[in-house]
C-alpha cells in the first residue's frame, strides 16, 4: 500500500513539473503492469508523456535532482536521437521511473491487459508469480544490462495471456463486437507513416467454464517446456493465443520479406499493432533459453 502511495506522489510531482513548464496540454500517464495489478513492490513505474504536437519540437525541462546522472542537462531535447526511455529516480520517494514520450501504443496495450485482468480476477496475481520466477532465473533482462539479452516483462505477460486464451481460460477481447475502445495511432514502419486502428471490447458476458480449474504455475512451466512448438507457432493474443508461423514475415510485422527463422526461436506479436519488435522495452524476440530452464 505504501508503494502505491509513493507511485502516486511521484506521478503527481512529474505531472506538475511538466505542466508548469508546458501547460496542461501535456500529460503524464502511468502504463504497464502497475496499472493492472501485476507489478511487485520492487517494480519501477513506467510513465508516458503525452505530447500534443510533434515530439521532436518538445523539450522536457526537469531539474537535475530528478536524475541519478549528474551530467544530464537540465533541459532534455526530445528528438530522434534522444535515448528512451529516460531513467531517473524521484529523490522524495526513491521511486525509479522510466519515461517515454508519446508511446500511445503502450497506453492502449495497458488498457487491453487491464480488461483481461478484470475478466479474470486471479490473472494479475498469476502474472506476478510468473514474472518473479522469470526474474529469479535471470530471464528478465531485455536491455542486456546483466548479461545476455532476454525477455521483457511485457513479452512474458503476452505469452501468459495467449496460453490462457488457448486453454479457454481467457476470451479474445479483440473479437468482441461490443467495442469499448475504438481509436488509432500513427506509426512509422519501413519508411512509411501509417494509421494503426485500435479496437477491443470487454467480453462482459464471458464466464470461464466451470470444468476448467485454476491453472498452477507448474502448468505454465510444463506447457512452455514440453507442449509449445516454437518452430511452428507464433504467440498472438490478437488471434486468441497462437497461430501458424509463416515462412515469410508479413509486412504488418514490420519486417519486409524476412525469413521468420531470422526473428529468433520465439516470436511474440504485439496484440494491437501485430508487430514483432526487437526493441527490448516492448517485445523481446530472443533465442529462447526458457524451454531448458522450465525443466528445472
Contact by Cβ (8 Å): 10, 90:
yes
What is the CATH number assigned to the segment(s) 121-175+207-294? 1.10.1410.10
pLDDT in tens, 177-221: 999 999 887 766 556 777 788 999 999 999 888 888 989 988 998
276 alpha-carbon distance from chain centroid? 13
Q: Do domains 2-102 and 121-175+207-294 have the same CATH topology?
A: no
Three-state SS at 207: coil
pLDDT in tens, 24-71: 777 888 888 888 888 777 777 888 887 765 544 445 544 434 444 434
Q: How confident is the model at residue 17 (pLDDT cuts 50, 70, 90)?
A: confident
| Strands 96-101 and 27-31, bridge-based pairing | unpaired
Identify the pLDDT of residue 295. 59
Domain ranges across the chain:
2-102, 121-175+207-294
- According to the model, what pLDDT value does residue 292 have? 53
Long-range contacts of 188-195 (CB under 8 A, 24+ apart): 189/254, 189/275, 190/251, 190/254, 190/256
pLDDT, position 128:
92
Spatial separation of the C-alpha atoms in residues 4 and 41, rounded to whole Å: 8
- Phi and psi angles of residue 153, each rounded to the nearest 5 degrees, phi first: -60, -35
Which one of 3.30.200.20, 2.60.120.10, 3.30.450.90, 3.30.460.10 gives the CATH number of domain 2-102? 3.30.460.10
How far CA 191 is from CA of 188, 194, 256, in Å, comes to: 6, 10, 11
Look at residue 35 in the predicted model and tell me its pLDDT. Answer: 85
| Residue for grid cell 467454464 | 209
Amino acid at each position: 500500500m505504501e508503494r502505491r502511495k509513493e507511485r502516486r506522489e511521484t506521478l503527481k510531482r512529474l505531472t506538475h513539473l511538466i505542466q508548469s513548464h508546458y501547460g496542461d496540454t501535456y500529460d503524464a500517464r502511468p502504463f504497464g503492469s502497475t496499472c493492472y495489478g501485476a507489478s511487485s513492490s520492487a517494480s519501477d513505474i513506467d510513465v508516458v508523456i503525452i505530447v500534443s504536437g510533434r515530439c521532436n519540437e518538445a523539450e522536457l525541462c526537469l531539474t537535475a535532482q530528478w536524475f541519478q546522472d549528474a551530467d544530464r542537462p537540465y533541459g532534455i531535447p526530445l528528438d530522434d536521437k534522444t535515448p528512451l526511455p529516460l531513467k531517473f529516480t524521484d529523490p522524495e520517494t526513491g521511486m525509479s521511473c522510466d519515461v517515454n514520450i508519446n508511446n500511445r501504443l503502450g497506453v492502449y496495450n495497458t488498457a487491453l491487459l487491464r480488461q483481461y485482468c478484470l475478466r479474470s480476477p486471479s490473472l494479475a496475481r498469476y502474472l506476478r508469480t510468473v514474472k518473479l520466477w522469470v526474474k529469479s532465473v535471470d530471464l528478465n533482462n531485455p536491455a542486456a544490462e546483466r548479461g545476455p539479452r532476454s525477455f521483457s516483462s511485457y513479452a512474458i505477460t503476452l505469452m501468459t495471456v495467449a496460453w490462457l486464451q488457448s486453454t479457454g481460460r481467457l476470451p479474445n477481447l479483440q473479437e468482441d463486437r461490443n467495442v469499448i475502445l475504438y481509436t488509432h495511432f500513427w506509426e512509422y514502419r519501413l519508411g512509411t507513416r501509417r494509421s494503426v486502428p485500435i479496437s477491443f471490447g470487454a467480453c462482459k458476458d464471458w464466464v470461464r467454464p466451470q470444468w476448467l480449474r485454476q491453472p498452477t504455475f507448474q502448468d505454465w512451466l510444463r506447457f512452455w517446456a514440453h507442449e509449445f512448438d516454437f518452430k511452428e507457432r507464433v504467440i498472438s493474443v490478437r488471434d486468441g493465443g497462437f497461430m501458424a508461423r509463416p515462412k515469410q514475415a508479413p509486412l504488418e510485422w514490420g519486417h519486409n520479406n524476412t525469413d521468420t527463422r531470422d526473428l529468433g526461436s520465439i516470436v511474440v506479436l504485439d496484440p494491437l499493432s501485430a508487430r514483432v519488435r526487437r526493441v527490448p522495452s516492448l517485445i523481446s524476440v530472443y533465442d529462447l533459453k526458457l524451454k531448458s530452464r522450465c525443466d528445472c
